[in-house]
Structure 1
Amino acid sequence: MSGLRVVPSRGRLYVCDAGGGGVAWYDRGSGRVSLLVQERERDVLDALKPFLTGPVTLGPPPVPDAAELARLTLPPDDDLAPNRPGEALLIALDRDPAPRLRADPRRHTLLAEQAVGAALDRLEEAGCRTLHSVPLPGGGRVPHLLIGPAGVFVLGALYARGHRVRVSGPLAAVGRRPAEPLPRRLRADAERAAYALTAGVGPVLVLVDPAGVSVAGDPGGLRVLRETELPGLARPGTVLRPADVEALHARARDRRTWARL
């Protein structure tokens, strides 16, 4: 047995040894296998064989930048990039499902996070990078993190299908339901993310299919968007260069970055 492990991560498959060190990666778009350890070529191809869909080229990797080096040395168990939208909720629902015939509000939250996550992942073509279900000390989590040319954003999703949403200061209310402090939590999460990443981070509340939206009072830097408006966060800007985006993404995808908060 080669002892190699294949770890998927959006467009690439990373081949790691038993200790989590990088041995090679396969770029699905270009069909290229970049070997970091030349003498393990046969083991790498054997490990990747179930995933290869056509002819491939092999060779040494291009000269890596700092972000690439950080990604290659990141232990797979500490890599947050494979997290799916709503990852934490999916795990919670699997471990502790609600009794049958009883509505579970977590499922609406999951639907909202999956819709927002899918929309954010499509922004990668515009030079953005996304992470989902980023764990925070104390049991909290950042539902979505977007890093792109226009800056860094913490995003929360609110299921509002067919209902009006009222945002007032630290509270948001859907229809006739009691108001919840989601805007306040998003602002606090943005402050924690800014500390962890040493970068400016803006909070964004994303409403999934609302019948209407009203914002009263001072939003305190919070942006309120419908999920159809998310492409606006990927418009070209001068806040971050592509190298900055990659460096911040490499830092953010490391679970240990958030454990130090």
Structure 2
Amino acid sequence: MSGLRVVPTWRHGRERLYVCLGDGRNIAWYDREAARVNLLSEDRREDVLDALGPFLTGPVAVGPPPVPTPAELARLSLHPDDDLAPNRPGEALLVALDREPGAPHRLRPDPRRRALEAEQTVGQALDRLDGAGWHTLHSVPLPGGDRVHHLVIGPAGLFAVHALYARKQRVLVADPMVTLGRREPQPLLRRVRADADRASHALTAEVHPVLALVGPAGLRLTAPPREIRVVTDTDLTNLSRLGGVLKPADVEALHAMARDRRTWART
């Protein structure tokens, strides 16, 4: 008997099987998704493979853990309170509604709930890009109480996406004004551009502004808006089809910088 035991865990949505000594110390782990067994010591290679035998699902690479990239080192050194990656779509609104739910019998729906629905719908669409080399951060706080609804980082660049609830309403865009149904026009495109400019300043990289309309009955643009994309929530996955301008290492480095709350204090 080797005296080793296997302990399954989940890290960042990925399953890992740790191989532990009797005193609880880890000496290896099996990353099933990467098909790799990482050994902290070659001395127990055979014992580790014997212990993992029932769990291995096919051929695996075996060796020491890969050297972490600068982006991985930055993530590992990041305090959990400063890490924005776990934010849910609409995180700031979820917290606000939890603290102050509002009157239960209001004649009109709480506008925060419609805004939350918009951010959640857009966020879910963007999260589906993750498997294509993209990262999305939600509810990125800016000084003064503003925030970037969604920051998307991928091969095609960086995008600050503002979600707008437009369910069953016709939308007219006359830069910088946006009109929902019969409401008064609002200069919303100015804010979307300003959020992207602040993100560009914080990350020292170009960030493109995007207005994402959720569920509109129709969209009319009087002219192509200046340097801004206006899309519906169902079109967001098209970002993955844009031409690549960033290498994978650049994407990871920018994501590591953007997920750090302290990065945004200087905007």
| 1:187 and 2:193 are equivalent in the alignment | yes
Distance in 2 of aligned mates of 1:181 and 1:223: 15
Provide the residue aligned with 2:121 in structure 1: 115
| TM-superposed deviation, 1:61 | 2.7
* CA distance in structure 2 between the partners assigned to 1:77 and 1:27 by the alignment: 26
Pairing 1:54-203 to 2, within 5 Å after superposition: 55=55, 60-102=64-106, 103-203=109-209
**Unaligned segments of structure 2, at least 5 residues:** 1-8, 17-27, 42-53
Cα distance change of structure 1 residues 129 and 114 upon mapping to structure 2, 3 Å threshold: same
Q: Is the 8 A contact 1:149 1:235 kept in 2?
A: no
Report the CA distance shift for 1:172/1:99 in structure 2 as closer, same or farther (over 3 A).
same
Q: Higher Cα Rg: structure 1 or 2?
A: 2
* CA distance in structure 2 between the partners assigned to 1:7 and 1:217 by the alignment: 49
Shift of 1:27: 5.5
The 1:55/1:162 distance shift into structure 2, 3 A limit, reads: same
Amino acid at match of 1:255: R
CA distance in 2, matches of 1:175, 1:55: 57
Deviation digits for residues 219-253 of structure 1, max 9, x if unmatched? 12110001111111112523111111111000000
Mapped partners of 2:14, 2:118: distance in 1 = 24
> Aligned equivalents of 1:73 and 1:112: distance in 2?
33
1:79 maps to amino acid? D
* Secondary structure in 1 matching 2:211: strand
TM-score (norm 1): 0.80
Which one-letter code corresponds to 1:162 in the other structure?
K
TM-score (norm 2): 0.78
Question: Would you say the 8 A contact 1:166–1:215 is kept in 2?
Answer: yes
Distance 1:26 1:161 in 2: 46
Offset at residue 166 of structure 1 (A)? 1.1
2:220 aligned with 1:214, yes or no?
A: yes
Retained in 2: the 8 A contact 1:12–1:25? no
User: Structure 1, residues 103-143: CA drift from partner, whole Å, max 9, x if none?
Assistant: 20010110010010000000011111110000011111110
217-226 or 26-35, which moves further after superposition?
26-35
Q: Does the aligned pair in 2 maintain the 1:8–1:82 contact within 8 Å?
A: no
Contact 1:7–1:76 (Cα < 8 Å) also in 2: no
* 1:33 positional shift: 8.1
Separation in structure 1 between the aligned mates of residue 266 and residue 152 of structure 2, nearest angstrom:
20
Contact 1:150 1:239 in 2 (8 A): yes
Mark the runs of 5 or more structure 1 residues left unpaired by the alignment.
Answer: 1-5, 14-23, 39-53
Question: What are the superposed Cα offsets for residues 40-78 of structure 1, whole Å, 9 maximum, x if unpaired?
Answer: xxxxxxxxxxxxxx9489975311111111111111110
- Give 3-state SS (helix, strand or coil) of 2:126's partner: helix
2:260 to 234, 241, 254: 254
> Aligned AA for 2:110?
D
**CA offset at residue 29 of structure 1?**
3.3
Equivalent residue letter for 1:196: A
1:147 aligned partner, one-letter code = I
The CA deviation at 1:209 is 1.1
Question: Counterpart of 1:76 in structure 2: which amino acid?
Answer: P
What's the counterpart of residue 16 of structure 1?
none
1:184-237 deviations in Å (ceiling 9; x for gaps): 111001000001111111000001111100112451211000111111111252
The two structures, once aligned, show a CA RMSD in angstroms of 2.6
Q: Distance in 1 between matches of 2:96 and 2:168?
A: 26
The CA distance in 1 between the partners of 2:137 and 2:13, in whole Å, is 11
